[in-house]
Structure 1
């Protein structure tokens, strides 16, 4: 004989449908299961839960613990995060001067708590939607600019993308916090060519600067040589003037002290004396080599004549200079 239990039999209710929405994860399934078992559900911080009743949107649950009477047909359809999210989009396009570039845009966005139902139900793939708008704006903006202008106007491109996304995504319950153009990458051959152009320009500037420096050095050297020769000429002129003045004083003094001598006789004696002094210095110099000169009474007379003529010419040139 089989005894029947006093309690009614337990029935297995069908499991609730899996949560749906752009932010569904495994925690949604655990939360739904716990809510079905204990009629309560926990919503984490920076997250909202979408509650449905018999498949129709019912309410947005804020973070905390909420009662979920599943016998009345209420259940959690899914969760939606309110945290700031980032999406990096790489778009290939070409510039006005027909250079293909890869533009990398970084989009920072988040769902609005006041429009959580729109963010949950209206879009099945938020990231793909944002990516499509970014492609559209970049491929409409960059082809109007040359490559150099595209680098200079990165902020303008980012502003155009942000304005378009803000206008489009606000209808779906999302806020575009900031849009950044983080990189513009031309083709490797284009970058190498740009570097070579820059290097050639810098080499040309360096060659011009080097030539100018050499020009200045040569000019300064020539000016220095001219000044040195001018000062050397002044020194030689003054030296000859001093020699002439000294010889004149010697001739005058000798003529006064020795009566009957003429100026020519005194001059010949002085020149001969200097000639022998010069010969003595040549012989006494340790660095002197052999010197062959004609020597004799006639040679001395010729030397005296040559020295006299040279001094007179030097005196004449000095007088003309002054």
Structure 2
């Protein structure tokens, strides 16, 4: 809580260097998903139902709830003939089929880069000819994106590979008829290690034409790698259930920061962690709004004399259009 001030931190006499990683915060897929819900509310009026958190950030969810969105985990919580939005993480094929059966008007806010992985999985599976290729998916068990991607293919067609150890021990039925895909929000380095193991064990394995880890995940990890060695502490603004935010925290520590912590909201911060910190790094996960970063900087400026430096690794200019049902 803000009241958790430490003796000496309330004075602005102490200088604090802040390194701001850029890119940080919202990616194009997150921005599109939020716009889908907002436009649906504008066109159809409240309530609009959203299956699962539209993106993994409580601030975003709470702001949309104030506008009339109702978040549910499954379609059986949605009234007949209602409007429903599928989250940016994607859904198994059974979900739109169930929505159609129940006469729900649905809008798919799945990130186009996640949809690309869905299509690649289907193509690899079908291109196996008379004997379909088995798919190895690198990702985190239970994550909505993984559940949605595996749900594009028949049960048993995909095996989840969670880490390097599983890559070393997986025993597919036909090692010569394999392909791999990955979750879009993984650690770039960890995934490269797993892919290298799979390629060594299964030389004929097919992979994506382009890397599945999305541009936003890659760019944010690269940006935090650049600042981490200079920092005493790194704040990652993001929610605990956000895969890309968790990966940023891990990458910061592996890249030289003595400590990195996840900060979902300003009120979650124990200010005692800043004792002895002279250089603070700040980044934000792809589902965290920039307003949370600015709120953090404002609070810090009330306790320290700040020297803020933004480190820009790359400028992003990616945008995605809204679903055709919304007319853009």
For the superposition of Structure 1 and Structure 2, which TM-score range results when normalised by the shorter chain?
under 0.3
The structure that has the greater radius of gyration is: 1
Higher relative contact order (CA 8 A, sep 6+): 2
Higher share of residues assigned helix: 1
